[in-house]
Structures are given as C-alpha cells and as structure tokens.
Amino acid sequence: MAWDRKQRRKLSDAGNWAFVTSNLSFLFFVVLAVAIMIASRAQIGIFDSAREAVNDAATPLYELAAQPAAMFKRWGQGLDSLLSVYEENQRLREENARLLAKQNELVELERKVARYEDLLKAQTDAPVASVAARVIADASGPFVHTVLVNAGHDQGIAKGQAVVDELGLIGRVIASGNRSARILLLTDLNSRIPVMVEGVNLKAILTGDNSVHPTLEYLPAGARIPAGARVVTTPDGGVFPPGIPVGVVASDSRAPRVNLYTGEGRADFVRILRYTAQVDVNSAPAEPLPGAITEQPAPGAAVAPTPEAVVPAAAVPTAQATPPVHATRRPPPKPKRTKPANLDEPFSPPAATAAAAPRPAVVQAASPTTN
C-alpha cells in the first residue's frame, strides 16, 4: 500500500506526460477503439465484408449452441401444455367444429373465384419460390432487432428479400454472406415496409420504433382506420409480394399502431421469399406529373404517319373506277343597258371588256353512286 502511494505520488509530481508514457498500452487501445468507431460510422465496405465473413465462420457454432436451447424450449412448452391439456382439448374441439363449417364455404368461394377469373381472363399472380432457413442467433436488444439465419448466397438469398414464418411477415434481408444472412425485423427502428389496410384500401408505410407495435405513417390527410382492420404487404417498389399478412390495426387514431401476427416468441424456422417483380421499376419510364403539358410538334415539322393513317394501295380507287365528272358552265352576266347621249342615234350594246369576260367553268365532282 505504501509503495502504491509513493508510486502515485511520483506520477503526480512528474505530470500528465509521465502518466501517458507509463500507460501506453491503455492509450493505444483507446485510440484503436475510436478509430474503429469512426470507420464503422463511415460505412466502409470492408467492414461489411469482414462482418459477413465472421458470421459465416461463426454459423456452425451458432447452430451447435441453438440446438440445446431449442430442446429446452420444446421441453418447457410441453410441460406447460401438460398442465392445461383439458382446456386446450376443449378449445381445439370447438375450433375444429368452426373450421369444418368454414371449409365448405371456402370451397364454394374458391370455385366461384376460379370461374370469375376464367370468364374475365384475369392474369393470376405467379407462384413465389422460397428457401427454408433456421434462426441460429437472435441479436435483438434495446436498440437493434435482427436475427441470423443459416442461408446465404449459396441458396440464392439476396439483400431485400422478404422473410416470413407460418403466421406472417417477419422482416427483410439486410445482409447476406455465403452461408448466412441477417434479417431486419419489423420492430426495428430502421424498418420501413409498404403496406395496405384492407377494407379501406389505404396505402401506408409500416415504421418500426423498437417497440412491439409498429406505427402506420404517410396516411392520407383525415384518414380514419378502424381498429381490427387487416394489414398486408403491397408490391410497391418491387420488393415484397402482394398480400403477405402483417398484422391488425390496434387503435383507431391518426397514428394507428399494428399488432403483428409474429410476436416476440418467433418460430425457429423461417422462409425467405425469392420474389421478382413482374415489371422492372428501375427501367420503367417515369409517369408524367398531374397537369403536366406534353410537348406538341412544332409548326411545319414532319410528323411520322400513324398506322391508322396509312391507306393500302388496294383501297385507292383507280381511273377506271372513277365516276364521270360533270362540267357545268355558268352563263356570262348580261351587259348593262346604257342610255345613249343622242336619242336620235340607234342604241348599240357596249363592247365586251375583260371584266365582263365569262368566268371559268367550275368543275364539280359527282359523288360515286352505289350499285
């Protein structure tokens, strides 16, 4: 103790520089931590590659660690079910009876929809391929809500693809390695999903805020959404397939929140949808703005004839088919009679002038008659 006091007294007497020189390792690690933090905030691509490589390398370890955890979880669920097996059995019997009654209605509705689509020649949505993956790590915390799955580029997984379970949408892929991928959950602060509210047909953006109930933003002014309305995905942006269930509206307010179908107790297995938009939004032409004035051709500019304006040669009548032309000649105007100056002289009409010359004949084409 006395030696420590003497050592600290010597360092304090020597000044701050002596303290720095005696703790070079500590100073080095502090500078290294600050440099790594600044580089990570700059979003350099080398850190993303390094992170994906670490995830790929740690995937087998995560899988080994996830198996005992999943086994204990199944045992706990089984024990809970044994304690409430009678009530669960009664509830399942009632639910089975309701489902059997709904099954007949569903079969009839499917038959009607198929008939209407056949009559209207409606184009149905193409089936979406999917890849099954297992959740091997849950990195959710107070600020980040992500999970890691054991599927990557080798299975055709790419950034932006939708991830679902047996209940509905979970999130989307934000990073993909060769054998692993990271999923951003709907509850994360950086999550933005285009959705539509069924019943009122209003489109909105489902925004996460690190809570269990995301909010609906960018709704039309004065829109009122009833509580309990179903929320599904839309194909806007060409990222998500249409109609994936997301949740139900929890509150009737100007900023309603959504109760997600996938709660905190997420499934161990998920499906990653390999959806491709039917229209490439990157190469599609931009739509004109409302009220925009389209360009008109300049006066005297050559305009290419449209296919409707092109008349085939067979449709033009020939000289033999041309009906006869009847020429009519108008009589020349009568000259004015003028009174002679000398009443004794005989009257003689004035000489013809250029103004009184007969007008040229007007040719009128007679309309063709039908036989």
Structural domain boundaries of the chain? 2-41, 131-274
pLDDT above 80 (res 124) = no
Structure-model confidence comparison of residues 351 and 119, the more confident one = 119
290-321 exposure pattern, b = at least 16 Cβ within 10 A, e = fewer: eeeeeeeeeeeeeeeeeeeeeeeeeeeeeeee
Tokens of 30: 């502090």
What is residue 70's predicted lDDT score, i.e. its pLDDT? 78
Q: How high is the pLDDT of residue 161?
A: 92
pLDDT value at residue 136: 87
Question: For position 308, what pLDDT does the model report?
Answer: 45
What was the pLDDT predicted at 205?
93
Mean pLDDT, rounded, of the chain: 75
CATH number corresponding to 131-274: 2.40.10.340
pLDDT at 116 over 70: yes
Q: What is the pLDDT of residue 24?
A: 77
Q: Look at 111 and 330; give whichever has higher pLDDT.
A: 111
Amino acid identity, position 348: S
CA-to-CA dists, residue 72 to 65, 79, 82, 140, angstroms: 12, 11, 15, 20
- State the pLDDT at residue 84: 77
Mean pLDDT of the 310-316 span = 46
**Predicted local confidence at residue 307, as pLDDT:** 46
pLDDT of 51: 75
The pLDDT of residue 214 is 92
3-state class (DSSP) for residue 39: helix
Question: In the predicted model, is pLDDT for residue 275 greater than 90?
Answer: no
